[in-house]
Amino acid sequence: MSASTRHVAWTGWDDDPDRLEAATVAVRDDRLAALGTSRATSYATAWALRTGPGWVTEHLDVSVRGLGWSRHLDLVRSPDGAWRADVRESGTPPSGLAAPGIADPASLDGALDCDVALCPVTNTMPILRLGLLGDRPPSGETRLVMAWVDLPSLAVLRSDQVYAAREPLDPTTGRGVVTYTSATRDFTADLTVDADGLVVDYPHLARRL
């Protein structure tokens, strides 16, 4: 894959049209670095992501700020596959918000990727690593474990997900389609993505501006 740096933005789907997502994404060979922001009605998020070879997550840094409170998560995947989270918080968060960080580290065994809630960029790593846009994508479905970061709590939870190639990259439009399924939440969507594996349309979550 050729090196590229992209500036992309999305808006929320019809049921959340006021949410805005923006990111700068650099893809180099078989790794990715990105930083982005998200603005929701009651909080704002800023994050930075770095992967190692094979688009495997190395480090995710996320901050969330609301009126009168803030939280910060530093999430690291070590070379041996263990996940570690350091958290900081201040102020008084909304009642009922889950505690930040990893409650059960063993539940993340086998996870190669982080997955930030509502963030289209974190779908890119498995799409590229599995070669779902190539001429010979894997047949059938591939099951994955993700370290899913809930927003705005910054709780890190296990998420079982399934990816499958649906439509190959069209050389005319520069777009393809990948089927994403959350086995944890019983949700399926056909993601339209571009040649860099970045989401163009994610039904019920985000659409590219």
- The whole-model pTM stands at 0.94
User: Above 70 in pLDDT, residue 136?
Assistant: yes
Confidence of residue 14 (pLDDT cuts 50, 70, 90): low
Is-contact 184 15, C-beta < 8 A? Answer: no
For residues 15-26, average pLDDT: 89
In tens, the pLDDT along 37-90 reads 999 999 999 999 999 999 999 999 999 999 999 999 999 999 999 999 999 999
Dist CA 2 CA 123 (whole Å): 19
Residue 169 CB burial class (10 angstroms; 0-12, 13-18, ≥19): buried
* pLDDT computed for residue 52 by the predictor: 97
Dist CA 138 CA 133 (whole Å): 10
Lookup result for tokens 């399934």? 162
